């Protein structure tokens, strides 16, 4: 739900194609400010990595995350909402499936429930669209 809200907000904010980095920065900053206290309270936040590890994390963030999300932000207003919602909400389900197959990870019941909820939502959305088109 939070991911879908993030995508809808990012799509709305990306209307001005000359300034796509601004909405992405705002969304990232807001996410950081919301998640940072959770990481601190839960004890899952670990700053003990060495300099080389931090540099690799920065490279990873700039290459896959920043560049990837800039490309997504540019494309959001240009594509139909149905296409983007389908492609971007299937992504977390694919991550769970690929992690299980390629990395032999065992998804938690909560992850499986989330994947099932996403798939059910996509079925409901596509069924509702076909039913309206037939009427």
Of 99, 93, 80, the C-alpha closest to 120 is 93
Task: Label residue 103 by pLDDT band (50, 70, 90).
Answer: very high
Helix (H) or strand (E) holding 98: helix 81-102
| pTM, to two decimals | 0.56
Query: Residue 40 to residues 2, 26, 61, 91, 132: CA-CA distances in angstroms?
Result: 20, 22, 21, 28, 47
| pLDDT (0 to 100) of residue 14 | 60
* pLDDT higher than 60, residue 135: no
Instruction: Convert the pLDDT of each residue in 39-74 to its tens digit.
Output: 889 888 888 888 999 899 888 888 888 888 888 878
* pLDDT higher than 60, residue 28: yes
CA distance linking residue 28 with residue 15, whole number of Å: 17
Work out the percent of the chain whose per-residue pLDDT is above 90. Answer: 17
For the segment 6-31, the average pLDDT, to the nearest whole number, is 71
Cβ-contact 10, 24 below 8 angstroms = yes
Cβ-contact 16, 29 below 8 angstroms = no
């Amino acid at each position: 739900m939070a991911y879908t809200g993030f995508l809808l907000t990012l799509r709305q904010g990306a209307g001005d194609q000359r300034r796509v980095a601004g909405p992405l920065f705002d969304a990232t900053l807001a996410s950081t400010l919301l998640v940072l206290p959770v990481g601190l309270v839960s004890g899952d936040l670990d700053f003990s990595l060495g300099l080389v590890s931090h540099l690799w994390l920065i490279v990873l963030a700039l290459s896959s995350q920043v560049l990837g999300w800039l490309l997504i932000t540019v494309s959001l207003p240009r594509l139909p909402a149905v296409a983007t919602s389908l492609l971007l909400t299937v992504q977390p389900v694919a991550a769970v499936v690929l992690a299980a197959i390629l990395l032999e990870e065992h998804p938690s019941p909560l992850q499986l429930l989330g994947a099932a909820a996403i798939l059910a939502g996509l079925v409901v959305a596509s069924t509702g669209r076909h039913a309206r088109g037939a009427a």
